[in-house]
Structure 1
Amino acid sequence: MKRLLRPTLVRRVMLAMVLAFLLVWLVLMVRQLYKATDTQALDQNLQGLGSSLLASIAPIATPGEARAVVAATATLVNDGYRKLQAPGAVLMELADAQGGRLFLSPEAGQATLHGVDGSISDGLVDGQRLRLYRGHSARWTLTVAVPVLDPWWIASTMSGGLTIDMLIALPFVLLPLWFAVSRGLRPLHRLSAQIAARDADDLSPLGVTPRYAELRPLTDALEQLLAQLRNKVEREHGFVQDAAHELRTPMAVLSAQAHVLAMAVDAPQRAQAGHSLMQAIARASHLIRQLLDLAQMDRPAALAPAQHDVAQLLRQELASLAPLAFAREIELSLDAPDTLCHALDTHAFQTIIHNLVNNALAYVPRQGQLRLELLALAGGFRLSVADDGPGIAAGQRSLVFERFYRGSGHAAPGAGLGLAIVREAAKRLHGSVELADGIDGKGCCFIVTVGAPAARLPLIS
């Protein structure tokens, strides 16, 4: 039963067509009812009938012949009314030039038809409303009265015939439409079966070129989705391999220093081995923390970002990093407005600040400069971190945001994850990061531009 009641596209199209037929039936009914109850059209028909009949008897000289023509016409017209089972009848009265009555329709009984010469007027006979025509010729005076039919009777009479016509036509429209829709959905069913038959790990392209243009957006979207999944899986595999490779070195150092510590025979050797062991632990801990940050940046945000004072957050983070800058005799400066409110993920923003500032402090030589600038933009803000350090070669600038990439010519320790984390954190804030020349054309300037949070799309997880 549930299967029968389940909504389908074919049923929806069929239902829409039935509703369209009902709408057409209603429009035709309204149109025909309007035409049937149009007083002006009724008067024109009455005028035409009376004028034609008067013109036909005008040449007749004898009363008997004129009476016969009018009687025959009245009988013919009323036979049509009776076939339609219309209430009332068409009444006709014929008089000579002196006003003597020659003929009166039997349906009128003893009533007299009082019309207005040369025009259409209203009348009433036995409670039946009439429209009357009266005309004169040289010999005869003719009065014709037609009943004003009840609109409900007209509607019920018309609806029966129109409904039968529409019901006859309906199957001849629905059957071809059902055939066309069912046949048109076959490629979609084949595509669905092809996808269902795939292995769970098969992310290869579909390789399907749909015959119908309406299906191409669907197949293009599926191909794009599969490409995104392939890229994500490839990045994850590469990330795991690179992480394993980067963790192998500090683990080997830890093992070696632990062995040296265990084999040390005097205090100086133990102190040196302990110091090396602590350095190896710190490096491994830093790498693991960066890996966790990168993994967190890859996950979609669970909650909508709240409003925060970005300027105040920036000042707080720089306050915690200032001792390191002072220790390296690096001039640290900030140019920012007093307040700058924006909805953002505070962890992502803090991650950007820590990685950019720590990178600069690691590479800028002593007595160097590090300048941060925060500017408000329409719907967002821009954060720039500039230094006068050794900089990055132009050929390497497109690669520095890749995971585990480290430029050549630098002795500073690191795993090459900091800028990759900055890029992912900027994306999480609906922004971007770019690299430009630093202070006075030397060093680097990282520019993070954050816009207003856009409508969130489903993320591939």
Structure 2
Amino acid sequence: MSTAPDRRPSLIWHLMAWMLGALVVVWASFVALGYQTGVHEADELTDGHLAGVAALVLNLEVAGAVGQGAATPVHEPPGLMAHDYQQSLSVALWDGSGRLISRTGDAPEPSFDTEQGFATLRLGPERRAWRSFTQWSRDHARKVSVMIELQERDELADDIAGQMVEPGLWLLPVVALALGLAIRRGMRPLNELSREVERLDLAQAERVSHRHALREFMPVVNSINTLLDRQQEALERERSLANEVAHELRTPLASIALQARALGDAPAGAMDAPAQRQALAQIGRDALHAGHVLSQLLALARAGRAMLAEPPVPVDLAALARQVVAAHAQAAWQRDCSLSVQAPEALGVMGNAVLLELALRNLVENALKHTPHGTQIEVQAGQGPDGEVWLQVCDDGRRSDGRRDGAERAAAPVDSLHLGHEIVARVLRAHQGSFGEAAPPEGFTTCYRMGMPGTGLAAAG
């Protein structure tokens, strides 16, 4: 079966898109600025050319006069190669009285009254625009006007500006390609780190090496190694728990098989009624023990799903404690135990009510099963000065005051694996809380406390 292609965005393309976007914006700004600068400088160059020609004409000796409307045509000298930036200039020369002495070029005759300096004139029947420079000689004996058609000047300016920015436009793809290669090469350490993480063997407790030279990778490497350490610790706990569970189940199951075989292999009438009842009772006890271990394992698996599917909701721990105590009142009465609650009227936390009830129920059941008859058990709840809400189950099962006989005080715990405590610990980890044995209050010998952040909802009972 073919693997579907990965359609997630690539980091390389993400970086390329941002870098090319920024590059294009900056590049376009420089191109626009360069083009405007080129046009301006080309216009300045043309104006300087007009002024230079005017100064040259004023220093020439020109005799005679031309007729009204007559113009001297401009002929290209034989053998002279035309230049790309060669311009068609027109020159009009007058004497001091306004008589036209010379006129060269295609421009219509301008007015003698045109002021000195640069100007844009509208000449001829078509009123075409001409850029002109007009100047008097020092003795005001002659006046000259040098002109170029404005369209020609603008075309020249556009051509010069285009020649200035064209290399930049050709260079942009080259820079983009170089950036892409540089980013790809710069991503090589990250790719090497990814391949090293992919090759890790959790079964061998491998870690990511610190050989990567880039210091930006060190927080990532340390975080990955910390996560691997936690994963390894969790695997070790699971392996240890699995071994203990297998050992714990092996004894009752082997006993059940042995008792069943004894009952099955005994000839009819060979085993008396008391022996049969004893064998059946042992089978029942072993089955209950195995069932208890399995039920604890199921509860442990349920509590192991710490990341809850539903979001946390407000939970009243005081009401939850009273509910759990009421549910176990019959079991406490049967063992002649005292089961009570000491809690405020309301005590709020954010969490999962089902899992919190599961944790508290395990503590109460452990207290009932692991203590002698007549034990005083109390569920206490409150809130510390730092805002932490706590819930604890205390008992006086270790007190030796003559009320209990030696057999009761020496009774072995039913839950030798302490799965109940593991269930509570997992539930509290899911609620960012803590669980452990606490100092028992006066009158009690054992106390286990659950602590978690509160919501500020606490009322005196």
Normalised-by-shorter TM-score class: 0.5 to 0.7
Q: Supply the distance in 1 between the matched residues of 2:392 and 2:154 (Cα, whole angstroms).
A: 84
Q: Which residue of 1 aligns with 2:105?
A: 106
Distance 1:151 1:19, change over 3 A: farther
Q: Is 1:388–1:440's contact at 8 Å kept on the other side of the alignment?
A: no
Structure 1 partner of 2:415: 414
List aligned pairs for 1:122-271, cutoff 5 A: 122-125=120-123, 126-130=126-130, 132-136=132-136, 137-139=138-140, 140-143=142-145, 147=150, 158-159=161-162, 162-167=165-170, 170-171=173-174, 173=175, 180-181=182-183, 183-184=185-186, 203-207=205-209, 209-213=211-215, 219-220=221-222, 222-255=224-257, 258=260, 265-271=271-277
* 1:319 counterpart = 2:326: yes
**Cα pair 2:12 2:184 within 8 Å, conserved:** yes
CA distance in 1, matches of 2:156, 2:93: 30
The CA deviation at 1:102 is 4.0
Larger Rg: 2
Separation (CA, whole Å) in 1 of partners of 2:415 and 2:14? 61
8 Å CA contact 1:388–1:439 kept in 2: the answer is: no
Q: Deviations over 1:222-276 (max 9, x none)?
A: 5455444433433322221111122233334445655677779444444444444
1:27-61 residue CA offsets vs partner (Å, 9 max, x unmatched): 222112333566xx888777766766667777x49
The answer to whether the Cα contact below 8 Å between 1:335 and 1:374 also exists between their aligned partners in 2 is yes
CA contact (8 A) 1:383 1:448 kept: yes
The structure with more helix, counted as a fraction of residues: 1
Whether 1:373 and 2:381 are equivalent positions in the alignment is yes
Whole-angstrom distance in 2 between the partners of 1:43 and 1:177: 37
> In structure 2, what is the Cα distance between the partners aligned to 1:26 and 1:11?
21
Among 342, 352, 357, the alignment partner of 1:345 is: 352
Native 8 Å contact 1:360 1:370 kept in 2: no
Supply the distance in 1 between the matched residues of 2:324 and 2:273 (Cα, whole angstroms): 40
Aligned mates of 1:433, 1:152 — CA distance in 2: 85
Gaps of 5+ in 2: 64-71, 400-408, 456-461
Tell me which residue corresponds to 2:451: 448
Where does residue 343 of structure 2 map in the other structure? Answer: 335
> Is contact 2:367–2:377 with CA below 8 Å preserved after alignment?
no
> Structure 2 CA distance, aligned partners of 1:308 and 1:338?
11
More relative contact order, 1 or 2 (CA 8 Å, 6+ apart): 2
> How big is the shift at 1:188?
5.8
Cα 1:229–1:143 shift into 2, 3 Å:
same
Secondary structure in 2 aligned to 1:107?
coil
Matched positions, count: 414
SS at match of 2:328: helix
Q: 1:277 to 1:387 in 2, by over 3 A?
A: same
2:425 corresponds to: 423
| Deviates further, 424-433 or 140-149 | 140-149
Partner of 1:295: 301
Residues 301 and 113 (structure 1), Cα distance of their counterparts in 2 relative to 1, 3 Å cut? farther
* CA–CA separation in structure 2 for the residues paired with 1:152 and 1:375: 86
TM-score by length of 1: 0.67
Instruction: Choose from 431, 434, 438 the match for 1:432.
Output: 434
Deviations 1:411-440 (A, max 9, x none): 443221111111111223343335432324
Structure 1: runs of 5+ lacking an equivalent: 65-70, 393-407, 453-461
Q: 1:156 to 1:385 in 2, by over 3 A?
A: farther
Q: What's the secondary structure of 2:106's corresponding residue?
A: helix
Correspondence for 2:311: 305
What is the root-mean-square deviation of aligned Cα atoms in Å?
A: 5.1
Q: Distance in 2 between matches of 1:353 and 1:439?
A: 19
